[in-house]
Structure 1
Amino acid sequence: MSRTAVSRPGMAAVAAVLAVLVSGGARSDPSVQPRQPAPAFSTARTSGYNTDRNAYFGDLHVHTKFSFDAYIFNVRATPDDAYNYAKGATVRHAGGYDVRLTDAPLDFLAVTDHAEYLGIVPAMNDPASPLSRIPYAPQLFSRDPAKIQSAFAKVATSIGEGRELPELHSPETSSAAWGSIVASAQRHNEPGRLTTFIGYEFTSAPQGMNLHRNVIFSGSRAPEAPFTALQSQNPEDLWRWMDGYRARTRNDVLAIPHNMNGSDGRMYERTSWDGRAIDKAYADLRIRNEPLAEMSQIKGTSETHPSLSPNDEWSNFEIMESYIGTPTPVTRFAGGYVRDALKAGLVFQEKNGFNPFKIGFIGSSDTHNAASGVEEGRYVGKVGFTDGTPERRFSVPPNGARDWHDAPEPSATTARFQQWGAAGLAGVWAEENTREAIFAALRRKETFATSGPRIRVRYFVGYDFPADMMTRTDLVRVAYARGVPMGGDLLPRRGRTPQHLVWAVRDPHAGWLQRVQIVKGWVENGEAKERVFDVACSDGLTPDPRTGRCGDNGATVNLADCGVSENKGAVELRTLWTDPTFDPNQRAFYYVRAIENPSCRWSTWDAIRAGVQPSPTMPKTIQERAWSSPVWYAPRV
């Protein structure tokens, strides 16, 4: 293995790194599956067009006042507010303060309000609407928390049961809200500056098990009304509806599941909705409509769980172990995390010849404030006033308590808030910042997820990278010509071992990189296995030949002020790695995980600002990270 790890260059060097990351000329290699061509663009190219693709960051999971569980908690921000926030404008939080991005504007965004009872709750608060005369409508906007909870539970329970309340059936109200969402996305779409997508959330949660999906449309056309979980909770019915939409309009659409961690194992269950064995028709239907998963967001990260990956020291990251919206504990972790799903997919492919779980990764926020605050030090909660202050989210002693010894035990609700993270982001590699280019990247899975920072990750696998690959100025172009990028399939070549080109660059406004890893899954004797390899280390360290791990780089966090080591870590880490365990006859997947030095978690920032000790029941630090979509290797049949 040859490796280059650059630790502390100045900003000029960072600019040079980024330039090479998106630059690239070399002959193509016919033995690897060819790079998918760029889509046919319906508009003129933007000034940022790059055949070797740029990194763009966005959020495909944002709620506004039209969601039933946002308006009820005092969120009044509109889709226009969400898009303006993405462009750098200020949004008023339900807690009575202003929030704004401190980093650069986002590159793309989708407002994805819940389709179930879309716009109904705001209408219940409008005296001019007949919905305001429903007997329990005043309770939703009462000052009595018990009355609010009682009325809210009535609405939320009906969604969980897939049963529409007759008194809330108002197609004209939901149609008006949907029209506002579509019009806002159209109004704010600015190729080259901000790409907007029309979207919504399909909110299926049978018995409280989370099967939610965000549905994202490729262009300017939208259906007259979304398909909702009040029509069917079965995701297979959603996929068939999507197929029908695609056939009728010749416009693409995809669904992105999230919070697999709260599904109690049902998101990637090994059977269909009604318990039948999965067949090829099911696998094709699913992967055609659901090529991605939102693996990191406020309600936890769904990469893996310590019980599923006991040999992965980094598996215990922002874990949420309860159902969505209830204290019910999750009891089945298999089927609820993407690494487990990828492994199950390999077994399906090996035994049956098809893979229903061939998924790429993104992150997003799931903010219900129309504003996604991804920075740990500027976390403002998820759902309006319910967790909009440190006291409400229990990161500082509530109710006037002087310290944690005087503080009451957290309620089931606030205990859930403690498990939440600051948010995630979606990353894509696309030719330009347009709907066509970004949607094409989503479709081909040339995507990556981050836990919040704008870490750039590139990943290629091939057989014939030149010896000087890591120092070439046309590295990216050569990588595309002679390898396959994240999201792709590598074909076998007799007698050859693949090379993995891994490259991660830190967010200049976030932490320094500590290490880059490759996560491998494979099938051996019919059983799926996994292993994590450290492949590049910061500070001149190398992976220990015995443990396969980078040594401790000595990075620390000062819990008095959240200061971090400024002389530890790397601006970029890159390597050309070969798998020492590679077996050409074993089916496998690989993905990259880049990990920052430790830094303060949002809860510690809250405590420091309040002048109190961090909560003894919450992690004090985290290690932010990014994950590439996988590359799959299939042996010769």
Structure 2
Amino acid sequence: MNALKTALILVIATTLAACSQPEEPPEAPAAEEAATPTAPPVIESNPNRNPYFGDLHVHTVYSFDAFLFGTRATPDDAYAFAKGGALTHAAGIEMKMKKPLDFQAVTDHATYLGMLPVMFDESTELGQLPISAELRAAETPEEIGEAFESMLPRIGGTLEEPDDMLDLDVVGSAWGKIIESAERNNAPGEFTAFIGYEYTTSGPDFENLHRNVIFRGSEAPDIPFSRLDSLNPEDAWDWMDGLRDRGIEALAIPHNSNGSNGWMFEKTNQAGEPIDAAYAEQRMRNEPLVEITQVKGTSDTHPLLSPNDEWADFEIMPVRVASPLESQPQGSYVREAWLNGLAMEDAEGVNPYRFGVIGSSDTHNAAGSFEEDNYWSKTGLLDATPEMRGSVPLDEGEVGSSSIFGGGSTDEEPVGDGPRYSDGPAQYWGASGLAAVWAESNTREAIYDAFRRKETFATSGPHIPVRFFAGYGIDAALLEAEDVIAAAYATGVPMGGDLIADGEAAPGFFVWAMRDSDTAPLQRLQVIKGWVEDGQPNERVFDVACSDGGAVDPETHRCPDNGAAVDLATCAISGDKGAAELSAVWQDPTFTPGQRAFYYVRALENPKCRWSTWDAIRAGVAPREDMHATIQDRAWSSPIWYMP
């Protein structure tokens, strides 16, 4: 067996170990035996690092909107689900994943944290408020949607404005319970539970600027910073810097840039002033990662921004968050932000956008929905059925759920005189996504440190591990090393790193990915390059590894079509097409010494049915014609930056 196969088998073994559920604990010892002191568990550490998959964006009963949507699951329930348990949806269905997760954070909204359960209790002072009675009276999906809309003006204020609905004692109590749950469920070496919350700010017209704040250890502030303290993310960074000075380490992860209408990745600060070094340094100190994919769409790129990328039209959400208003692509997508960061660095010497990527779910059911054939969407009672999600036609006289999140018509006729469908935002949502890291062990410290160094990747749901290294000693000879991964770490830099120029030398890249055995095989591996030339941003997609014995065309840099197909009558996929794993050592044929560039990996599965097609087949109707019938799930690595 050659060295590469040996190394990859070791990687596969650690992957399976990382994704496996811990064994059931033994029965409790007798009382006299229980008093015997036991040694702390030995936590194995792998210097080559293991892949760990998790979710850093989960809402439970303490989020005002999740509670309105019918979710009553607690943080403990959410962690039990993440560990492989079953959880009951607000509509009564069972939610359970095929594979457990390795880590998770409950990230309830800091705004009105824990207030709704108290307001729904008529025996409390808050329960006597008129708004509380109005919210309690909402029972149907339409009424719940209206109740949610009635809350939106209230969550845009600051603490200087009087607010009879806010009780910081209630907020502090809920926050304490979230912290206690994370502490209870954190099991070093087996499962990592992070303390976290969501800072849910936005512009005046629903320009999404939401962030999740994740804490490294057990230390956390008494009250989380919310939009009621400030709508400006820069103030949140100041607050986090202050926490760090007190020994409380945390980072923030922006999400749904796709719904920001260009605000997330602007070329100015919040005041409209040019970005300077202090801004860039503070943003990267506090926000080293961005959530590139989740249920409310994917923020990698957009067909209008990447017209030559055949895979750019992937789970695009065209509207803003909690609004039917369109979201402009410019300033809203990750790849363009990386390109604009390079341009700023060339022109001004500053780059606020050298971030890595993760995925997560943004579930408001306390349970992420990651599987196309096992999909329960996001918002409890408001999208619990295929009809509400817009994937199955409405019955005669049935009202659609499109009024939820900002209004709109209650139904539509997408194709000529065809059937009516609900026209809500759920039609754009997807079974996504996962946060993933390469870390020495499954502990808070090791995984958080991977966040900090950006050795992270994202997937749109499947457990697809991806490796990516760049270095001047990475070539075909690397594959003959006794330990390929150790040699790659010694010779180059992993995803998320900076590769400093070495004169005129061109770097080599090592790329590897393995399929998720519960989904579709891999079709191809790609390296996506971005660079700036004469002040103009450029990008190019290179296929670097093909399945089914295919070879990359040296002119088009594309693999041949492997012929993988999907039977839309049954959702059966080609069983004889695709690869269990793919790898390559690659050099950039367009490399220019001294020219700043970033490179990142995209691993593509074979096509399979999208969740909406599964809904249609199970209902015995044709898939909705203006929805994608199939999907190619994928993984994205964090970039490697070539730095002259």
TM-score using structure 2 length: 0.90
2:266 aligns to what? Answer: 269
Conservation of the 8 A alpha-carbon contact between 2:194 and 2:215: yes
Alignment counterpart, residue 422 of structure 2, candidates 410, 425, 440:
410
Residue of structure 2 in register with 1:238 after alignment: 236
Which residue of the partner structure matches residue 30 of structure 1?
none
Contact preservation (8 Å) 2:145, 2:382:
no
Alpha-carbon contact 2:7-2:485 (below 8 Å) kept? no
SS in structure 2 opposite 1:371? coil
How far 1:161 sits from its partner (Å)?
5.1
Q: Measured at CA, do residues 470 and 22 of structure 1 come closer, stay the same or move farther in structure 2, by a change above 3 Å?
A: farther
2:31 aligns to what?
none
CA contact (8 A) 1:5 1:536 kept: no
Partner of 2:35: none
Q: Which region of structure 1 is more displaced relative to structure 2, 147-156 or 226-235?
A: 147-156
Are 1:286 and 2:289 matched, yes or no? no
CA distances 1:340-369 after superposition (whole Å, capped 9, x unpaired): 110011111111112110010000000000
Kindly indicate whether the alpha-carbon contact (under 8 Å) linking 1:5 and 1:574 is maintained by their aligned counterparts in 2.
no
> Contact 1:5 / 1:572 at 8 angstroms: preserved in 2?
no
Partner of 1:355: 351
Counterpart of 1:75 in structure 2 is 71
Displacement of 1:114 in angstroms is: 0.3
* 2-structure distance, mates of 1:246, 1:448: 26
Q: Give yes or no for the alignment of 1:18 onto 2:12.
A: yes
Tell me the amino acid that sits aligned with residue 73 of structure 2.
A
Structure 1 residue 149 displacement after superposition: 3.9
Equivalent residue for 1:209? 207
Q: Identity over the aligned pairs, expressed in percent?
A: 54
User: What does residue 614 of structure 1 align with?
Assistant: 623
Q: Counterparts of 1:92-491 in structure 2 under 5 Å?
A: 92-103=88-99, 105-142=100-137, 143=139, 147-160=143-156, 166-206=163-203, 207-248=205-246, 250-330=247-327, 332-399=328-395, 407-411=419-423, 414=424, 416-465=425-474, 467-491=476-500
Task: Describe the superposition over 1:200-232 as per-residue Cα deviations: whole angstroms up to 9, x where unpaired.
Answer: 000001220100000000000110000001110
Answer 1 or 2: higher relative contact order, Cα 8 Å, separation at least 6.
1
Q: Which amino acid aligns with 2:554?
A: P
1:154 Cα offset (Å): 2.7
**Paired residue type of 1:437:** A
In 1, the alpha carbon distance for the partners of 2:158 and 2:461 equals 33
Matched with 2:24 is none
Amino acid at match of 2:393: P
* Aligned counterparts, 1:519-598, within 5 A: 519-598=528-607
Structure 2 residues not aligned, in runs of 5+: 18-38, 399-412
Q: CA deviation at 1:304?
A: 0.4
**Preserved contact between residue 474 and residue 507 of structure 2 (Cα < 8 Å):** no
2-structure distance, mates of 1:133, 1:190: 41
CA displacement 1:213-263 (0-9 Å, x = unmatched):
000000001100000011101000000000000101x13100000000000
2:517 alignment partner in structure 1: 508
Which residue does the alignment assign to 2:635?
626
Taking the aligned partners of 2:14 and 2:141, their CA distance within structure 1 comes to 55
- Relative to 1, partners in 2 of residues 1:195 and 1:145: Cα closer, same or farther, differing over 3 Å? closer
**By how many angstroms is 1:400 displaced?**
5.8
Counterpart in the other structure of 1:34: none
Alpha-carbon distance in 2 for matches of 1:513, 1:595: 6
> Deviation digits for residues 60-114 of structure 1, max 9, x if unmatched?
00000110110011110110000000111111100112211222x1000000000
The answer (yes or no) to whether the contact 2:82–2:101 under 8 Å persists in 1 is: yes
Q: Secondary structure of the equivalent of 1:391?
A: helix
RMSD: 2.2
- State the Cα deviation string for residues 164-199 of structure 1 (Å, max 9, x = none): 661112111111111110100000000111100000
Aligned-partner Cα distance in 1 for 2:98–2:546: 29
Paired residues of 1:587 and 1:634 also in contact (CA < 8 A): yes
List alignment gaps of at least 5 residues for structure 1: 7-11, 24-42
Aligned partners of 1:321 and 1:46: how far apart in 2? 48
Contact 1:401 1:407 (8 Å CA) reproduced: no
Quote the Cα distance in structure 2 between the aligned partners of 1:14 and 1:486. Answer: 18
Q: Is the 8 A contact 2:265 2:332 kept in 1?
A: yes
- Note closer, same or farther for the CA distance 1:406–1:55 as it changes in structure 2 (3 Å cut): same
CA distance in 1, matches of 2:88, 2:349: 52
Partner of residue 57, structure 1 = 53
Equivalent-residue separation in structure 1 for 2:331 and 2:168 (angstroms): 36
Does the Cα contact within 8 Å between 2:607 and 2:633 map onto a contact in 1? yes
**Partner amino acid for 1:407?**
P
Structure 1 residues 16 and 288, CA, compared in 2 at 3 Å: closer, same or farther?
closer
Give the match's secondary structure for 2:388. Answer: coil
Once the two structures are TM-superposed, the CA of residue 546 in structure 1 deviates from its matched residue by 2.0
Alpha-carbon offset, residue 125 of structure 1: 0.6
Instruction: State the Cα distance separating 1:44 from its structure 2 match.
Output: 7.0
Structure 1 residues 535 and 151, CA gap change in structure 2 (3 angstroms): same
Using the size of structure 1 for normalisation, the TM-score is 0.91
- Secondary structure of 1:158's counterpart equals helix
The answer (yes or no) to whether the contact 2:4–2:481 under 8 Å persists in 1 is no
